[in-house]
A and B are shown apart, each in its own frame.
Chain A
Amino acid sequence: MKKYIDSGKIDTRSGFGAGLVEAGRKFPEVVALTADLTPSVKMGDFKKEFPDRFIQCGIGEANMVGVAAGLAITGKIPFIGSFAEFVTGRVYDQLRQEVAYSHTNVKIASSHAGITLGEDGATHQTMEDIALMRALPGMAVVVPCDYNQTKNATVAAAAWDGPVYLRFGRPSVANFTGADEPFEIGKIYNLNEGKDVTIATCGHLVWEALTAAEMLEAEGISAEVLNVATIKPLDEKALLASLAKTGCAVVAEEHNWAGGLGEAVCSLAAANQPVPVELINGQDRFGQSGKPGELMKAYGLDAEHIAEAARKAISRKK
């Protein structure tokens, strides 16, 4: 199978920070807002380079969403940054009325998403955010897989006409996509052509899926790995073509079972290309404190579990 080289473990949120500076240079309309989390969401470099375009909002996320919407109405491209929980669940109604329904060009920079936030525990480990954001009409939902892709996706989000939910995380993970590979919102990236099973995944689990594919290859199983970096709008054509070819799928995500990539793929498959699908996710649970790697393993979000699910999906093919 195709080999991917990890150029060095690094957090995806730092990719956002680098991408934000690049977007700021490219688009003078880009402004950045945070709710007292400048270093955590990696807005420090942007603040340094564009002090007049950085807006501190204090610990008041609802107001931050409104201010961003107001700035967007006047023609700015605001990025609002906080922990995933505090820019989704906490401000769902504000995002619904002032961003989605209002068609304002606000970009939601959602850091520390998922269980890999780690030691802070379940209050901060949002596993429901993708479901919330997918449910908003007109909201693009983007979950890049590594530093490079998060950087490039941030620039793409700035260029996208409309609201974008951009989800990234805290742990240092493999960095293996192209440093300057342009990111296209709405496109599935096929990382490994295969014929026996489709592994559709996003975010931190993409590297795990590639590792799983290597394990499966050793057993003679050919796995196709789709990096579904945009969950909405979903690249239905690429996904259905893959399902038609392989006849079964595993969908792996660092998210609750409800409303995430798994359900998006299942509803598409059920209507168009019914095939056995196995789901890897956090199930219907909250997280807990722990190291990111420990938690991924304990919650079944790793290469071993993906490989096992792939074997099961293949065995269910008629």
Chain B
Amino acid sequence: MENLQKIASQVRRDVIRMVNGAGSGHPGGSIGIADVLTTLYFKEMQHDPKTWTRSGKGQDVFILSAGHLAPVYYSELARSGYFPIEELGTLRKMGSRLQGHPCVTDNLPGVFKPSGSLGQGLAVAAGMALGKKMDGDAHRVYVLCGDGESEEGEIWESAMWAQHHKVDNLIAMTDWNGQQIDGPTTTVTGIEDLRDKWSAFGWDVIVADGHDFDSIESAFELAHAENGKPKMILFKTEMGHGVDFMAGTHKWHGKAPNAEECAAALAQLEETLGDY
């Protein structure tokens, strides 16, 4: 657990430096979900960058549906060994494989599909999960959506479909930080009763603290049940968690820190594995 904490701290540093270097991007949500994704990549998933293929055969698969969380996604991939960490400094630059939102055009290892237009990742993950079942591949498919993203109608089409087709090797996660671009979700559409919504759609719903590693690990453990139901883990998170002036607000959803802000943020995040 201590190890996960260390990795997550480095991932947060990567995110802040990457977005600062790019001059644009989405730091708030990225550092808010860093503890969950670090647990996923460094503890939960059975995956191996050395034998990875885009088909996902023989491995667990992670799909990022909320594509604007690209900075944290790229950091987790690089720190896991999918590509050199030095490449993180190319985020959003011309010719980089690290596009502003993830894509597969240049075959970036670890990435299964493009993301950016919201609401679409759950369906693709469900399709991959069904594909694994058809092929007798016992691995799981994980997907991360945002709570704001869940305002998209397609999410609920997929919710119905995955339940009906009993895709129980699908573990969906919602980054439940209560924030979206225009403000708190309570003021936008009032989507906060996510637990009831997913339960009503027939899913196994697990609620966990997205900043407590024990809670995160237990949630994944519960989600392993082979009970004919797809799983939804609602991770209660704080947008901007780990940097005091970014925490708990939507204001850093899509804003890059300047040099001064970047330095102030990095002062709060221990360099544990060496900066890229």
Which A residues contact B (CB, under 8 angstroms)?
A: 31, 52-53, 55, 57-58, 60, 62-76, 93-94, 96-98, 101-104
Contacts and interface: CB of A to CB of B under 8 A. Distances in A.
A103 B116 CA distance: 16
Interface in B121-151: 121-132, 134-135
B251 interface: no
Contacts of A58: 157, 160-161, 164
Given A60-B157, A63-B123, A67-B161, A73 B57 contact: no
Interface in B32-85: 54-57
Mostly helix, strand, loop or mixed at chain B's interface? helix
B35 to A, nearest CB: 27
15 contacts: A52-B134, A58-B157, A60-B157, A60-B158, A62-B120, A63-B157, A66-B120, A67-B127, A71-B128, A73-B127, A76-B131, A93-B117, A98-B113, A98-B123, A102-B104
A102 B126 contact: no
Most buried by B among A31, A70, A74: A70
Contacts of A102: 104, 113-114
A99 to B, nearest CB: 10
A73 B122 CA distance: 14
Most buried by A among B114, B116, B122, B126: B114
B55 A94 contact: no
Contact of B124 (A55, A66, A101, A103): A66
Nearest to A103: B104
A11 B236 CA distance: 54
Given A57-B161, A66-B158, A74 B116 contact: no
In the A-B complex, the 7 residue pairs with the smallest Cβ-Cβ separation, listed nearest first, are A70-B127, A66-B123, A74-B131, A60-B157, A63-B157, A67-B127, A70-B128
Contacts of B57: 74-75
Contacts of B121: 66
A71 B122 contact: no
A32 to B, nearest CB: 13
B190 interface: no
Given A63-B157, A64-B123, A71-B131, 6 more contacts: A60-B154, A62-B153, A63-B158, A66-B127, A70-B130, A73-B127
Nearest to A66: B123
A123 B129 CA distance: 35
B160 A75 contact: no
B262 interface: no
Contacts of A65: 123
Nearest to B161: A63
A94 B122 CA distance: 12
Nearest to B54: A73
A93 B153 CA distance: 13
Interface in B76-122: 103-105, 112-117, 119-122
Given A67-B124, A73-B112, A101-B114, A62 B157 contact: yes
A262 to B, nearest CB: 30
A50 to B, nearest CB: 11
A132 to B, nearest CB: 16
A71 B120 contact: no
Contacts of A31: 134
Nearest to A53: B134
Contacts of B153: 62
A70 B131 contact: yes
Nearest to B117: A97
A27 to B, nearest CB: 14
A60 B54 CA distance: 26
A52 B135 CA distance: 12
Nearest to B137: A74
Nearest to B141: A70
A55 B122 CA distance: 17
A55 B103 contact: no
Contacts of B135: 74-75
A71 B127 contact: yes
A104 B160 CA distance: 23
B104 to A, nearest CB: 6
Given A57-B161, A98-B113, A67 B132 contact: no
Contact of A73 (B117, B124, B154): B124
Contacts of A63: 123, 126, 154, 157-158, 160-161
Nearest to A33: B127
A96 B103 CA distance: 12
B173 to A, nearest CB: 17
A70 B126 CA distance: 7
Contacts of A101: 103, 105, 114
B123 A70 contact: yes
A60 B134 CA distance: 22
A65 B56 CA distance: 19
Most buried by B among A52, A55, A60: A60
Contacts of B104: 102-103
Contacts of A53: 134
B132 A74 contact: yes
Nearest to B164: A58
Contacts of A57: 161
A53 B133 CA distance: 12
Interface string B211-239: 00000000000000000000000000000
Given A52-B134, A66-B123, A73 B113 contact: yes
